[in-house]
């Protein structure tokens, strides 16, 4: 499997995009200016953010035309304090305001539906580019200053030592110990942090630097590009004669407001003493911080990247080397260091400009090689996330990448222990893409979009997500037998979350075919208003059954069925002791031609006992759900009917009901290949007569959110306190995400 994708690096001044293949950048890098309050001070920040992500989406689509399929997997190196799930904690350096809580992933998925978005802070991304160095601290000196420590000896998810969200290392916003702000009035510091111009002017007169984040005398205030430019302006105004006579003064025509990074770089290149003093003032605190980190963690290498440091170039690094030499003490961790060790401490890469982009490509490729799955520990009623290495595709294997999966009632029953199955990995409803095919496998090819039939047609006890691992994992490995038995079912068109319903719909199709083979119904009673019950009602209407009644105990589910437009209120009845009488009244006392029982909780036999009077003479009773193994159904003239035997064989058995009327019992467990093909056709139909399957999908969740979501569904039947039908796992979502009313259902 080759890993195509796109990577984006959002910096304070420039945003860059490139395609990659297997983690290596390919083709041309696109560049555009990052919309910023610095360049558009009168523009609302929200509009600048929209402009940024509109711009990124446009360039992504442009690159995707050059590298087809790459836009499905996008890595974003983001120049702000941001977690691995894309939630901003502080973007002051980027947007001059924190923008706390802004969702980078959501901003892009709204514009690029179906894309999988991974986000890293740009410093963490750059660290991945230098992974060959082993253990090191990486410092970026650009619009801001930040650090990340990388350890190649740790598992991939822990190599960047910055906490689970990778938001650690933002030491640039830490006030320096014994800094100048300690002796100043607190009200002055608060005013300066709130951007009061008079307070900041007073700090300048005192020679105290400040940062956009609101801190006074933090590391960014000294060492970052904007910080050092402010220090240069401050020194120019405090020492006008020295400034006027300096190379920096000549570069700026004696105007401190004209000082920028380019002017500093040009002046520093002339070995100008005034400019060298400014560089020294900014790099000395950085040198101290690097030595502290190396001493704290036992590091021998410090990598420095960032547009400002490399833009000023050798004079800046000369200042940093001098500061390191002056501050170094041969004690503790540094006691036995040789001259060669000190020479090797500072690593100045010649490809720093591309590090965040290339590192993001390496990171996203590595993540594609990992396989996250949801596991139910044996004899426990909880789910956990587990990460393993990417499965290897053997000669007789097929490797699938899951796009969507459905959480159904059976999964929750297994989780609760109501069913004694222990599959390890739950789930049996999915939409997946074939990503690798073994050399001895025929019938599928890389790129095919498929669903799977979890039921082995040759062994009723062999079921995915029941006694074999299911589909709640990013990568699924199946043997060729699954293909040969027709359990890998091809889909057409683009990936669609509705297709998770193909598996239950195939089972419903089989049920209706069985009923029709005995007695094509003119009237039908569906008992149960979960996803399966509603599918029965929808298919019956699609097939022209004149009267479709729906019975359920819960007033909430009755209201839901009406609100979704699946049944009119006049045909939805309460399931209670008077239900049979209500059905008989609605059918002129004759009863319904057929009854489908699709309930949960193992109460199917009890429901049937109460509803026998609702079934017409010669009617069909189909046992679909809610019938536990070992239960029998009471009829006249016998010891009872073995429900499991009828359902397993999908047979028809004539009986005499306790009411004295003739009846035919049918039942089924799962669908066959023909049923799946019919279900695929029904799912892919469009137009006014199509089944509105999207109405049954009430929530989407990320894989990471599944353990908590399943626990809530099991406890209350709701998700985020709202009624749930089918909950779909969207594998493109990152972070802990639960969404109501997904885009395709609005």
Helix axes 197-206, 225-238, angle to 10 degrees: 70
- Whether 517 and 637 share a structural domain: yes
Domain that holds residue 452: 370-495+694-745
pLDDT digits (tens, 9 = 90+) for 316-343: 999 999 999 999 999 999 999 999 999 9
Q: How much is the pLDDT for 15?
A: 95
Q: How much is the pLDDT for 214?
A: 72
Q: Taking residues 140-153, what's their average pLDDT? A: 91
Q: Taking residues 8-17, what's their average pLDDT? A: 92
Q: How much is the pLDDT for 539?
A: 97
Q: How much is the pLDDT for 178?
A: 56
Domain termination residue (choose one: 365, 394, 421): 365
Q: How much is the pLDDT for 378?
A: 95
Domain termination residue (choose one: 338, 365, 392): 365
pLDDT band of residue 1 (cuts 50, 70, 90) is very low
- Whether 526 and 658 share a structural domain: yes
Q: Would you say residue 145 lies in a domain?
A: no
- Whether 375 and 469 share a structural domain: yes
Per mean pLDDT, which range of 87-91, 358-362, 450-454, 542-546 is the poorest? Answer: 87-91
Q: Would you say residue 568 lies in a domain?
A: yes
Q: Would you say residue 203 lies in a domain?
A: no
Asked if pLDDT for residue 627 goes beyond 60, the answer is: yes
Cα distances (Å, whole numbers) of residue 617 to 523, 624, 664: 13, 20, 10
Higher pLDDT, 428 or 637: 428
- Whether 414 and 552 share a structural domain: no
> Would you give the end-to-end CA distance of the chain in angstroms?
35
| 352 token code pair | 């720093």
What CATH number does the domain containing 707 carry? 3.90.180.10
Q: Taking residues 549-573, what's their average pLDDT? A: 93
Q: How much is the pLDDT for 179?
A: 57
Per mean pLDDT, which range of 165-174, 324-333, 615-624 is the poorest? Answer: 165-174
Q: Would you say residue 619 lies in a domain?
A: yes
Q: Would you say residue 100 lies in a domain?
A: yes
- Whether 572 and 554 share a structural domain: yes
Q: Would you say residue 160 lies in a domain?
A: no
The DSSP-derived string for 300-359 is: --EEEE-HHHHHH-HHHHHHHHHHHHHH--SSGGGTT--HHHHHHHEE--TTGGGHHHHH
Q: How much is the pLDDT for 743?
A: 45
Q: Taking residues 211-229, what's their average pLDDT? A: 87
- Whether 526 and 664 share a structural domain: yes
Burial label for 317, CB within 10 Å (0-12, 13-18, 19+), is: middle
- The DSSP call for residue 391 is P
pLDDT digits (tens, 9 = 90+) for 414-434: 999 988 899 999 999 999 999
Q: Would you say residue 491 lies in a domain?
A: yes
Half-sphere exposure (CA, 13 Å, Cβ side) for 409? Answer: 17
Q: Taking residues 473-486, what's their average pLDDT? A: 94
pLDDT band of residue 131 (cuts 50, 70, 90) is very high
Q: How much is the pLDDT for 611?
A: 96
- Whether 265 and 121 share a structural domain: no
Higher pLDDT, 741 or 360: 360
| 48 token code pair | 């600048």
pLDDT digits (tens, 9 = 90+) for 226-246: 999 999 999 999 999 999 999
pLDDT digits (tens, 9 = 90+) for 250-295: 999 999 999 999 999 999 999 999 999 999 999 999 999 999 999 9
pTM for the whole thing? 0.76
Q: Taking residues 41-62, what's their average pLDDT? A: 94
- Whether 538 and 667 share a structural domain: yes
- Whether 121 and 26 share a structural domain: yes
The count of structural domains within the chain is 4
Q: Would you say residue 99 lies in a domain?
A: yes
Higher pLDDT, 178 or 623: 623
Cα distances (Å, whole numbers) of residue 536 to 255, 530, 691: 79, 10, 11
Asked if pLDDT for residue 746 goes beyond 70, the answer is: no
Q: How much is the pLDDT for 102?
A: 95
- Whether 328 and 375 share a structural domain: no
pLDDT band of residue 313 (cuts 50, 70, 90) is very high
Contact between 86 and 124 under an 8 Å Cβ cutoff? The reply is no
- Whether 639 and 727 share a structural domain: no
β-pairing, 592-598 with 523-527? parallel
What CATH number does the domain containing 611 carry? 3.40.50.720
pLDDT band of residue 744 (cuts 50, 70, 90) is very low
Q: Taking residues 50-57, what's their average pLDDT? A: 96
- Whether 223 and 258 share a structural domain: yes
For the chain, what percent of residues have pLDDT higher than 70? Answer: 98
* Mean pLDDT estimate for the chain: 91
Asked if pLDDT for residue 444 goes beyond 90, the answer is: yes
Query: What is the C-alpha separation between 336 and 343, in angstroms, rounded?
Result: 14
The DSSP-derived string for 416-439 is: HTSS----SB---EEEEEEEEE-T
Contact between 382 and 376 under an 8 Å Cβ cutoff? The reply is yes
Contact between 604 and 630 under an 8 Å Cβ cutoff? The reply is no
Exposure b/e, 359-391, CB count within 10 A at least 16 = b: bbbbbbbbbbeebbbbbbeeeeeebeeeeeebe
What CATH number does the domain containing 16 carry? 3.30.420.40
């Amino acid at each position: 499997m080759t890993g195509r994708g796109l990577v984006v690096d959002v910096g304070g001044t420039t945003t860059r995009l490139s395609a990659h293949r297997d983690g290596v950048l390919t083709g041309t890098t696109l560049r555009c200016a990052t919309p910023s309050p610095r360049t558009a001070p009168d523009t609302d920040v929200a509009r600048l953010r929209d402009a940024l992500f509109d711009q990124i989406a446009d360039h992504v689509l442009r690159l995707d035309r050059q590298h087809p399929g790459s836009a499905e997997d996008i890595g974003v190196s983001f120049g702000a304090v941001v977690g691995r799930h894309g939630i901003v904690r502080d973007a002051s350096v980027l947007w001059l305001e924190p923008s706390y809580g802004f969702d980078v992933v959501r901003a892009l998925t709204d514009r690029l539906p179906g894309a999988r978005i991974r986000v890293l802070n740009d410093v963490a991304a750059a660290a991945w580019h230098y992974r060959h160095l082993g253990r090191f601290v990486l410092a970026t000196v650009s619009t801001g200053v930040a650090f990340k420590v990388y350890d190649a000896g740790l598992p991939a998810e822990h190599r960047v030592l910055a906490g689970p969200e990778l938001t650690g290392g933002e030491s640039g916003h830490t006030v320096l110990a014994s800094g100048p702000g300690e002796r100043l009035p607190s009200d002055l510091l608060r005013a300066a942090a709130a951007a009061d111009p008079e307070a900041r002017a007073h700090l300048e007169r005192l020679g105290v630097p400040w940062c956009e984040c609101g801190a006074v005398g933090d590391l960014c205030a000294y060492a970052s590009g904007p910080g050092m430019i402010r220090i240069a302006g401050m020194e120019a105004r405090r020492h006008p004669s020295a400034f006027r006579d300096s190379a920096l003064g000549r570069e700026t025509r004696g105007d401190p407001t004209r000082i920028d990074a380019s002017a500093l770089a040009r002046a520093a290149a002339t070995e100008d003493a005034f400019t060298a003093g400014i560089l020294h003032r900014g790099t000395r605190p950085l040198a101290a911080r690097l030595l502290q980190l190396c001493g704290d963690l036992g590091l021998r290498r410090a990598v420095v990247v960032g547009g400002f440091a490399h833009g000023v170039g050798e004079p800046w690094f000369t200042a940093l080397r001098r500061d390191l030499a002056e501050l170094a003490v041969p004690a503790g961790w540094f006691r036995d260091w040789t001259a060669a060790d000190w020479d090797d401490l500072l690593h100045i890469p010649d490809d720093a400009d591309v590090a965040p982009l290339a590192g993001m490509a390496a990171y996203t490729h590595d993540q594609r090689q990992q396989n996250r799955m949801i596991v139910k520990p044996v004899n426990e009623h909880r789910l956990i996330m587990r990460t393993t290495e990417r499965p290897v595709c053997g000669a007789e294997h097929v490797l699938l990448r899951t796009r969507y999966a459905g959480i159904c009632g059976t999964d929750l029953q297994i989780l609760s222990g109501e069913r004694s199955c222990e599959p390890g990995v739950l789930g049996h409803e999915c939409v997946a893409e074939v990503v690798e095919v073994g050399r001895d496998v025929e019938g599928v090819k890389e790129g095919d979009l498929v669903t799977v039939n979890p039921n082995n047609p040759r062994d009723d006890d062999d079921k995915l997500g029941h006694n074999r691992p299911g589909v709640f994992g990013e990568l699924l490995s199946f043997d060729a037998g699954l293909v040969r038995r027709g359990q890998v079912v091809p889909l057409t068109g683009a990936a669609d979350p509705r297709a998770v319903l193909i598996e239950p719909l195939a089972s419903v199709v089989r049920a209706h075919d069985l009923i029709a083979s005995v007695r094509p119904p003119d009237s039908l009673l569906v008992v149960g208003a979960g996803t399966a019950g509603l599918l029965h009602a929808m298919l019956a209407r699609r097939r022209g059954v004149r009267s479709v009644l729906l019975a359920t105990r819960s007033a909430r589910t009755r209201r839901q069925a009406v609100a979704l437009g699946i049944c009119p209120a006049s045909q939805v009845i309460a399931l209670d002791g008077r239900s049979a009488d209500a059905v008989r009244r609605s059918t002129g006392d004759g009863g319904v031609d057929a009854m489908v029982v699709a309930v949960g909780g193992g109460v199917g036999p009890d429901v049937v006992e109460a509803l026998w009077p609702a079934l017409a003479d010669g009617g069909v009773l189909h046992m679909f759900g809610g019938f536990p193994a070992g239960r029998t159904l009471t009829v006249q003239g016998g010891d009872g009917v073995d429900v499991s035997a009828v359902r397993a064989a999908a047979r028809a058995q004539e009986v005499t009901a306790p009411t004295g009327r003739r009846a035919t019992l049918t039942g089924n467990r799962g669908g066959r290949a023909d049923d799946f093909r019919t279900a695929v056709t029904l799912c892919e139909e469009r137009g006014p007569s199509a089944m509105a399957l999207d109405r049954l999908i009430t929530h989407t969740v990320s894989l990471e959110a599944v353990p908590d979501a399943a626990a809530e569904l099991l406890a209350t039947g709701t998700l985020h306190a709202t009624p749930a039908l089918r909950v779909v796992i969207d594998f493109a979502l990152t972070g802990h995400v639960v969404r109501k009313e997904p885009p395709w259902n609005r």
